[in-house]
Amino acid sequence: MRILRTGFAAAAALALLGAGHAFAQAKTTVTVQYPLGFIFDKVFGELKTEFEKANPDITVKYLPAYKEYEDAAQTALRGAVTKQLPDVSLQAINLQRLFVDRKIAVELTPFIAKEANWEGQGFGKSMMALSTYGGKPYGLAFAASTPIIYINDDLVTKAGGDPAKFPTTWEGIFDLSQKIAKLGDGNIGLFHSWAITGNWMWQALVYSYGGKMMSGDEKTVAFNEAPGKKSIELLGRMVREGGMPDLTPEASRAAFFAGKLGIWTESTSLLRVADEGVAGKFKWRTVRFPVPGPDARLPTGGAAAMMFATDPKQQAAAWKYMKFITGAQGATIMVKGTGYMPPNSLPANDPALLKPFYAEKPNHLTSLSQQPLMTAWYAFPGENNLKIIQAIKDRLQTVVDKSAAPDAALSGMAADVTKLLPK
């Protein structure tokens, strides 16, 4: 009998081990790819940890981070051809359209329909609109940003300015920039981050004057109208009157972190990076971006989570992950680890989530104060979206390096883009 019982016990143990092995094998792995590792690596590491705690049956596997947003789009488009797409891809808000038009992105309506009180979970209409095409949702906004101005309090004070009463007009900014440059010792007065991905800062200038990128029917360019003319002239004035040098984005970051750049227009997304880069070497703050025109707006930058998975099981796991990283808990982790605004409406005023954080981090409130100005980061129609972005960037470069007059650059830009639009 003892031998029999022992045999039964061994068999039971083996059965339990087999069941455990089967359970482990049944675990679903979700592949995810995101851009801008220098901003997001720490955030996505924490998101993985917390998501897997809440979902022990799902493992998150990250593919190498996309370098930037255009790289994210190009890499994913190549992956669609070779059938090597991640289950979830974080794409720039303005580049989602590429994946909708090519029928790569999965429509999210069936998943949202199964959710109880979707808007009550913090997924408001304004943020859902950032990933809606043809009236249908194809993504969940993960991070949102507006352009702001970073200022070095110490340099502004040395130049005779008052950081607490920073100029609200470009004329005042140019005047202060000149005074900072005159301090010498390699100090730079102003840098406008015109080369940011997706022509975002160019759109910011045009929208700030009340302009638009394209006509309502998307047949003709509109950025060459009066607001665009004022915008391209303003870029030229930044060089002529503001003393703006021709720097790469990386060089401008380094200059600000070193305490050598007084006024820096950038995305709110770099707040955490700036905290670490400045590391207490000088006092700094953020202020609102100037909006000189009537009906002024500012483009909403950032990224959205899109589902590329086609297998139902993978889709179910991908949906759980997407909901988590864009939900209240995920948004809280993202905001604290970057500088972006939360796409989810719940955490900002929640004492258990972001309310205390914002009370301690006033620089993060600048972008939140610009929310009434937020508009879509425009996505150009057709197959040549990425080529259009590059064409605009090339023309802006000629203004910054003074190889072309602003009006000539704008005319060339309009002609270049027109050739690339759908016929």
User: Among residues 131, 171, 161, 65, which one has the least CA distance to residue 376?
Assistant: 131
- Strand spans (E) along 183-293: 188-192, 261-267, 284-288
Give the pLDDT confidence score for residue 423 in this predicted structure. Answer: 87
User: Among residues 357, 361, 358, 338, which one has the least CA distance to residue 44?
Assistant: 338
pLDDT tens for 256-280 read: 999 999 999 999 999 999 999 999 9
Question: Amino acid identity of 58?
Answer: I
pLDDT tens for 87-138 read: 999 999 999 999 999 999 999 999 999 999 999 999 999 889 999 999 999 9
pLDDT less than 70: residues of the chain:
1-25
Helix (H) or strand (E) holding 32: strand 28-33
Decide: 243 and 255 in contact? Cβ < 8 Å: no
Give the pLDDT confidence score for residue 411 in this predicted structure. Answer: 98
Give the predicted TM-score (pTM) of the model: 0.89
147-297+380-420 matches 29-145+300-375 in CATH topology: yes
SS3 label, residue 119? helix
| Residues, the chain | 423
Give the pLDDT confidence score for residue 389 in this predicted structure. Answer: 97
Rg (CA), the chain: 24
Antiparallel, parallel or unpaired: β 147-152 and 261-267: antiparallel
Give the pLDDT confidence score for residue 222 in this predicted structure. Answer: 98
User: Among residues 272, 51, 32, 287, which one has the least CA distance to residue 150?
Assistant: 287
Q: Which fold is adopted by the domain 147-297+380-420?
A: D-Maltodextrin-Binding Protein; domain 2 (3.40.190)
Report how far residue 94's alpha carbon sits from residue 68's, in angstroms, rounded to the nearest whole number: 13
Give the pLDDT confidence score for residue 75 in this predicted structure. Answer: 97
Give the pLDDT confidence score for residue 15 in this predicted structure. Answer: 46
Domain boundaries, the chain: 29-145+300-375, 147-297+380-420
The CA-based diameter of the chain, rounded to the nearest angstrom, is: 98
Which residue, chain included where needed, has tokens 């665009």? 228
Pick the CATH number of 29-145+300-375 from 3.40.50.280, 3.40.190.10, 3.40.50.12240, 3.30.70.1250: 3.40.190.10
Decide: 29 and 312 in contact? Cβ < 8 Å: no
Give the pLDDT confidence score for residue 398 in this predicted structure. Answer: 98
C-alpha distances (whole Å) from 97 to each of 88, 214, 216 are: 16, 15, 17
Q: Is 265 exposed, middle or buried (0-12, 13-18, 19+ CB in 10 A)?
A: buried
- Strand spans (E) along 268-376: 284-288, 298-307, 374-376
Report how far residue 274's alpha carbon sits from residue 334's, in angstroms, rounded to the nearest whole number: 16
